[in-house]
Amino acid sequence: MNNTDFEIFKKECSWFIQQTDKIEIKESSIDYSKDFSTMFPLLYQLLSKARVADIVLTRTKKKTETIHNYRLYSWNTKYGNTAGWLCRIDLNNSTVEILPEH
């Protein structure tokens, strides 16, 4: 799948992707909980306007593959540019209860 937002990200952050990396991109959407929208109303408004892509990066180093999951949020600015925010998605192994969106 060709994702224009990710292509812009790769161009602007060329140091992030290595030539041997395998990239899988999937368009995505997120349903935010009522707790999240109430607790973080401005962040909720911002994220609700974003185009969202889930990215799986498989990196091979010395015959060992590691898989990293990311989410790319992208917006058009009022000046016609694209802005984005790349977040690494890790498993929650914490015993502390946090919102699912975190």
Contact 50, 75 (CB under 8 A): yes
Task: Name which residue leads in pLDDT, 51 or 93.
Answer: 51
Angle at 63 between CA 57 and CA 69, to 5 degrees: 15
Percent of the chain with pLDDT strictly greater than 90:
68
Tokens 């030539």 map to which residue? 19
Burial (Cβ within 10 Å: 0-12, 13-18, ≥19) of residue 81: exposed
SS3 98: coil
Percent of the chain with pLDDT strictly greater than 70:
90
pLDDT (tens digit per residue) in 4-34: 999 999 999 999 999 899 999 998 888 899 9
Q: Once rounded to an integer, what is the mean pLDDT over residues 82-98?
A: 81
pLDDT (tens digit per residue) in 60-80: 988 899 999 999 999 999 999
Q: Report the C-alpha gap between 99 and 22 in whole angstroms.
A: 31
SS3 content of the chain, % helix, strand, coil (to 5): 25, 40, 40
**Per the confidence metrics, is the pTM higher than 0.85?**
no
Return the pLDDT at 1: 43
pLDDT (tens digit per residue) in 34-62: 999 999 999 999 999 999 999 999 999 88
Q: How many CB atoms lie within 10 A of CB 74?
A: 19
